Chains A and B, each alone.
Chain A
Amino acid sequence: MQELIATLETQSDPLPGAAFEPAIVAFVCNWCTYTAADLAGTSRMVQSPNVRLVRMMCTGMVDPKYIIKALLGGADAVLVSGCHPGDCHYINGNYKARRRVKLLMEILPRFGIDSRRIKLTWVGASEGNEFAATVNRFAAEIKELGPIDTRRLPLL
């Protein structure tokens, strides 16, 4: 069985031939990171196209289920990004988000989901350059890691 899977795995490389383009979902808060992304745009800071933003009002509303769903549904990685500690528009939503990400970090990597595929960052509203750099670094890192296992598994 193990062998069979191994052979199938090599066969079933996504998009054979084409270069791997990771799909990355980013849950970003409206007040800091989303604003930073706007700023990066206005400043024309070129970014790799792999990151898709999901606008949340605060990282504190990112239910761990959203991250799990994204990773099971084809996203190769998830970024959660909000205001720096002390700057959350809602006082302390980001601290709660940090605990929830910590929790997932203890669970998902145990099932072979590389811990580099889940990232938490603080990018403030004025840090357009930091946003662009985060996106580019993250996309490059995930490109290197290759596609996530779940893309191959018909599970949901």
Chain B
Amino acid sequence: MGSIARIEVKDGNPVAALQNFCARLLADSEITAVLAPRQLPGNRGAMPALVAAPEQLHDIDPLAPSFRLNAARMLTRLTRGADDGGLVAALLRPCEVRAFIELCKLNQGSLENTLLVSLDCPGAFSNTDYPRFAANSGDTWSLVQFLGTSGRGTHGGIEIARACCTCEHTTGAEADLSIGLFGQDVEKGLLLMANTPRGEGFMTRLGLPEATDDGSRDKALEALLAERRAAQELMFAETTAATSDMTGLSQFLSACVNCYNCRAACPVCYCKECVFLTDVFEHKPWQYLSWARQRGALKMPTDTVFFHLTRLAHMSTACVGCGQCSNACPNGVPVMELFKTIAAATQKAFEYEAGRDPGEAPPLSVFREREFPELTGGLD
């Protein structure tokens, strides 16, 4: 385990403490800018902002339980190619860290050019629920209440997004530095942990007071994970039951209008242009008519199930379960449920875990000469 420091919280305001932490990062000569969630006007939640000037840090709020988009894709834009722009420090949720690692494997971004800082994630409300939460309780006091539960319980009758309720990767030890919230009295102080040599280097330079691990974080985490895993099991079971045959799957996806918002929101659906938007799927009028004749009636738009099955084939091994697909769907299709359930299976099949290790090659980019004998009844 790496070293641990303490981020002091003054006046019971952890958000201010983190703004201050960002200011310290900015003061470091190596860091050119900080990428962190910033409050949108009118309780609309938070979106990432790239802050270069310390005086612009006042709306930065990495703790807001709002997750309007997965910032991993934003970070790839800031880090890809030659590192001429200098280092960007990024404050991310664990699922954003893992998505970013996946994207780096796919040559979309570079771990070299960023200092990854993850925060313990208690979860976030869906894009539609967040304004309701914020309207009722958008102040520091209720934020502290929210954080105090270390990711458990509902808040004013509103539950955090289902992706979050079923997430078992609530800490981001894959990042260079991680900020510990769980089990802490967030009105007093937060933990800062270094996980990589680069993280260690910054930790030393930041000059924060040293801290010791009293086990309270692990304890809170354990309780949280037990709940989350149970919820996940339940979700897997429900989704599996609902989609156990093609009729079920069709029904599951019945509200889909082929808008492809889910894939646009998905951080690891990294294609510039989805193949379903290319001319391969530009059918001719007579083709539609002949399908309609063959089947008697044709669902329009076509290729819906085909799209989702293909997306599962393409990226379920990279899915980090962030839930942005569901968040983005205008028609309430439970996309995340489907993808996370299948992802658990495909990742297990290849002994792979998305975002776990930058050195782990995506399963479909490699092969072994002797593997999967069950497919062909042997290895020869």
Main secondary structure, interface of A, reads helix
Closest Cβ neighbor of A149 among chain B residues: B246
Indicate if the CB atoms of A103 and B349 lie closer than 8 Å. Answer: yes
Interface string of A109-124 (1 = CB under 8 A from B): 0111100000011100
What is the CB-to-nearest-CB distance from A131 to chain B, in angstroms, rounded to a whole number? Answer: 14
Give CA–CA (A150, B248) in the complex, Å: 11
With a cutoff of 8 Å between Cβ atoms, the chain A residues found around residue B313 in the complex are: 64-65, 68, 103-104, 107
Residue A99 interfacial (CB < 8 Å): yes
Give CA–CA (A99, B365) in the complex, Å: 9
What is the CB-to-nearest-CB distance from B61 to chain A, in angstroms, rounded to a whole number? Answer: 39
Interface string of A67-103 (1 = CB under 8 A from B): 0110010000000000011100000100110111111
With a cutoff of 8 Å between Cβ atoms, the chain B residues found around residue A68 in the complex are: 306, 309-310, 313
Indicate if the CB atoms of A112 and B345 lie closer than 8 Å. Answer: no
Residue A156 interfacial (CB < 8 Å): yes
Residue B52 interfacial (CB < 8 Å): no
What is the CB-to-nearest-CB distance from B290 to chain A, in angstroms, rounded to a whole number? Answer: 12
Known: A154-B296, A155-B299. A111 touches B248 (CB 8 A): yes
Give CA–CA (A121, B249) in the complex, Å: 29
Give CA–CA (A65, B350) in the complex, Å: 19
Q: Which of B120-128, B140-148, B370-378 contacts A (4 or more CB under 8 A)?
A: B370-378
What is the CB-to-nearest-CB distance from A59 to chain B, in angstroms, rounded to a whole number? Answer: 11
Known: A95-B367, A98-B367, A98-B376. A103 touches B246 (CB 8 A): no
Main secondary structure, interface of B, reads helix
Known: A111-B249, A149-B245. A98 touches B299 (CB 8 A): no
Indicate if the CB atoms of A106 and B367 lie closer than 8 Å. Answer: no
What is the CB-to-nearest-CB distance from A52 to chain B, in angstroms, rounded to a whole number? Answer: 17
Give CA–CA (A102, B363) in the complex, Å: 11
With a cutoff of 8 Å between Cβ atoms, the chain B residues found around residue A108 in the complex are: 309
With a cutoff of 8 Å between Cβ atoms, the chain B residues found around residue A113 in the complex are: 246
Give CA–CA (A72, B295) in the complex, Å: 12
Residue A39 interfacial (CB < 8 Å): no
Indicate if the CB atoms of A110 and B243 lie closer than 8 Å. Answer: yes
Indicate if the CB atoms of A98 and B310 lie closer than 8 Å. Answer: no
Give CA–CA (A107, B313) in the complex, Å: 7
Residue B223 interfacial (CB < 8 Å): no
Residue B212 interfacial (CB < 8 Å): no
What is the CB-to-nearest-CB distance from A93 to chain B, in angstroms, rounded to a whole number? Answer: 10
Residue B297 interfacial (CB < 8 Å): yes
Residue B304 interfacial (CB < 8 Å): yes
Indicate if the CB atoms of A65 and B247 lie closer than 8 Å. Answer: no
Known: A95-B368, A98-B367, A104-B313. A5 touches B375 (CB 8 A): no
Residues of B within 8 A of A (CB): 240, 243-250, 275, 291, 295-299, 302-306, 309-310, 312-313, 316-317, 341-342, 345-346, 349-350, 363-364, 367-372, 375-376, 379-380
- Jot down 27 A-B pairs with beta carbons below 8 A, ordered by A: A64-B310, A68-B306, A68-B309, A85-B369, A95-B368, A96-B364, A96-B367, A98-B375, A99-B371, A102-B350, A103-B350, A105-B375, A106-B345, A107-B312, A107-B313, A108-B309, A110-B341, A111-B245, A111-B248, A120-B376, A121-B376, A150-B246, A154-B299, A156-B295, A156-B298, A156-B305, A156-B306
> Assuming A103-B349, A156-B291, what are 9 further A-B pairs, CB within 8 angstroms?
A65-B306, A65-B310, A101-B375, A103-B350, A105-B375, A112-B247, A121-B376, A155-B246, A156-B295
